[in-house]
Amino acid sequence: MQETNSGGAAALVPHGPLSVSDRLAKKALRHFKERLIELLLLGAAFVSVLTTVGIIWVLVSESVNFFGTVSIWSFLTDTMWTPLFAEPRYGILPLLAGTLTTSAVALIVAIPLGTTIAIYLSEFARPTVRELVKPFLELLGGIPTIVYGYFALMVVIPMLQLLMPELSGFNMLGAGIVMGIAIIPYVSSLAEDAMRAVPMSMREGSYAMGATRLQTAFRVVFPAALSGILSAYILGISRAVGETMIVAVAAGMQPNFTVNPLEPAQTISAYIVQVALGDLPHGSIGYQSIFAAGLSLMLMTLALNLVGHVVRRRYREAY
Amino acid sequence: MKAEDIPLIRKIIRRNKRLELLFAVAGLVALLIGVLTFVALFAQMAFAGWERITPEFFTNFPSRRAAQAGILSAWVGSLLVMLVTAVSAVPLGVASGIYLEEYAPKNLLTDIIEINVTNLAGVPSIVYGLLALGVFVYTFGFGQSILSAGLTLGLLILPVVIVATRESIRSIPLHIREAAYGLGATRWQVTRDHIVPYSLPGIMTGVIIGMSRAIGETAPIITIGALTFIAFLPESPVGPEFPWVNFEWLTSGFTVMPIQMFNWTSRPEEAFQQNAAAAGFILVLMTLAMNAVSIWIRYHVRKDIKW
């Protein structure tokens, strides 16, 4: 559309500084340059697709080698994860139990607190309070997770030990609580965005019927924003499942087939870190095992993403 | 309305007001838990690490003796890794964002790229570490180097930069583009002379947020096999002779701030915990400073734009 003017201009000014053929040549060059730039930009955008392809390729190809030695059945059902023993056993269940337990503790902290903060900021707080608090929450979400891990180990677990003297120095409860605090900002900011997107007219209708702010928040705004709030929760869950450093520092590094949060245990991600810290040779079964663990983790987050997609479709309220 | 209803109605109103107050208090308490955690975390590290934060702490290599150990190799490593991350993620991310907003036709390929960017944002960071271990370290043969680490973090923050670029571009009104096209500008001229400059504050915010996330990332860098004990510095990127730059530092072994902190945290001795606190304090200060800059840009630079 943007090249159409050059032909007409050439006809109007026959003896301009450039002849018609020069102008056409310039136009072809310009057209070529535009196409080239578009291709370059497309190439840049395609890097993200290549990243995904790379992740899948690496995880699957190394896992295939791994499952050549260890059967999938024993990987999924064996209750022992002892890769460093003389007779190694690779059952993912203990790591899975650790991952799910720490995530559950984190969600018990993050979902109620995150939702309360979101409702408070979106429906109750004055704009000045909101403007003041939101950057603070963002900062909370921006703190490196290794710092949270240190905090869990040095502050939260000793505090828990005051309440429960027999608690071990590494446990899933302390790690889970801190992880929950770390994911509050993700939950609260997405949930708040969803609630703020609910049209004002719906609140006004509710107020006009005599409802209080609390009733409006819980019976009108919350249900209307449900799809967004649920996707905030799902993002929180997938953060918790993939979180690494907090559990690596504070939950202990021993695979332990238990769902008791008072015990130490290892998560899938913490196992990967533990192996990477050691010096396993490239191509060994231990090296391959972290890719099988990573594949399990990836499949879990992928499943969560899919659930999130379905939830968004299903509970979407259109105005 | 009957007269005897009035006390009843008043009772209901009182109860509702009480409930409302109760929830407002609950909201404040929930906020306070967040804010207090932040304060406690910061204060604890400052308090525990205060004695260790001396000039020598920044100029000493890590050591077996906690009192002499410092973060020289860690902060230099972090700086160089961040350099590679910025150089790789910013052009790629901005170009992708521009493509998706200004160029992309509505077709299957565009849909695939868009869904893919959304999904990548949800991939756990440790999985990026595995990708880097398999691809950068072994397949491309970059080894356990600054180059591998920087590219890994670059891929990790790519979705952040893309999303920020797109949102920023989307907020530019259509009439700006129409005016430029109306004067005969090509698509690239519109993009280069109007879209990119106007969306720059938003892009900068996204880039800084992404970088502040990258500087604290520990898991993917451990996964590619960064060493935890480094008592040397990489080759200087700036040399005394022509051409004044060299790229040997890219292939050097390295450590970064969060790994140094992790290393000290996992030691049982009290003295090393002190070092961990000091390193953590500095790390948090770095991320805070970056976040503060991005918040400042958002609230001040953006406000000045009136369409």
Domain residue limits, chain A: 5-69, 93-315
| CB A219, CB A211: distance < 8 Å | yes
Put simply, the answer to whether A151 touches B41 (Cβ < 8 Å) is yes
Name residues whose C-beta falls within 8 Å of residue B209's C-beta, 6 or more positions apart in sequence. Answer: A142, B160, B164, B290, B291, B294
Select from A48, A61, A185 the Cβ nearest to the Cβ of B113: A48
Q: Over chain B, what is the mean pLDDT?
A: 86
3-state secondary structure A69-114: HCCHHHHHHCCCECCCCCCCCECCHHHHHHHHHHHHHHHHHHHHHH
Contacts of A112 in chain B (CB under 8 A): 30
Has the ipTM of the complex gone over 0.90? no
Which CATH fold would you assign to the domain B55-304? MetI-like fold (1.10.3720)
**CA distances (Å), origin A231, targets A184, A220, A308:** 14, 18, 5
Put simply, the answer to whether A62 touches B134 (Cβ < 8 Å) is yes
| CB B101, CB B177: distance < 8 Å | no
Residues in chain A: 319
Put simply, the answer to whether A58 touches B130 (Cβ < 8 Å) is yes
Residue B137 is encoded by which pair of tokens? 């370290």
Residues in chain B: 307
Count Cβ atoms within 10 A of the Cβ of residue B235 and give its class: 0-12 exposed, 13-18 middle, 19 or more buried: middle
Size of interface A-B (CB pairs under 8 A): 259
Nearest CA in chain B to A253: B266
Peptide bond before residue B243 is cis, with ω within 30 degrees of 0: yes
Select from A2, A38, A282 the Cβ nearest to the Cβ of B184: A2
What are the DSSP calls for B209-229, one per residue? HHHHHHHH--HHHHHTT--S-
Domain ranges of chain B: 5-51, 55-304
Q: pLDDT-based confidence at B240, cuts 50/70/90?
A: low
| CB B154, CB B163: distance < 8 Å | no
Gyration radius (Cα) of chain A, Å: 28
Q: How far is B147 from chain A (nearest CA, A)?
A: 17
* Between B191 and A279, residue with greater pLDDT: B191
The pLDDT profile of chain A, 319 residues, written as one tens digit per residue, is: 444 444 444 445 455 567 777 777 778 888 889 999 999 999 999 999 999 999 999 999 999 989 988 888 888 887 788 877 777 888 889 999 999 999 999 999 999 999 999 999 999 988 888 888 888 888 888 899 999 999 999 999 999 999 988 888 899 999 999 999 999 999 999 999 999 999 999 999 999 998 989 999 999 999 999 988 998 999 899 899 999 899 988 888 888 888 888 888 899 999 998 888 877 777 788 888 899 999 999 999 888 888 888 888 887 766 6
Output the pLDDT for position B238. 65
Q: What are phi and psi of A15, to 5 degrees?
A: -110, 40
* Between B68 and A10, residue with greater pLDDT: B68
pTM of this structure: 0.87
Largest CA distance in chain B: 97
| For chain B, counts of helices (H) and of strands (E) | 12, 0
Is the per-residue pLDDT at B52 higher than 90?
no
Whole-number Å distance between alpha carbons of A188 and A114 = 4
Put simply, the answer to whether B265 touches A138 (Cβ < 8 Å) is no
Amino acid (one-letter) located at B7: P
Of A26-40, B59-73, B228-242, the poorest mean pLDDT is in B228-242
Contacts of B24 in chain A (CB under 8 A): 120, 124
Put simply, the answer to whether A144 touches B217 (Cβ < 8 Å) is yes
Q: Within 10 Å of residue A108's Cβ, how many Cβ atoms?
A: 14
CATH 2.170.190.11 fits A93-315, yes or no: no
Whole-number Å distance between alpha carbons of B96 and B116 = 12
Name residues whose C-beta falls within 8 Å of residue A196's C-beta, 6 or more positions apart in sequence. Answer: A122
Put simply, the answer to whether B134 touches A291 (Cβ < 8 Å) is yes
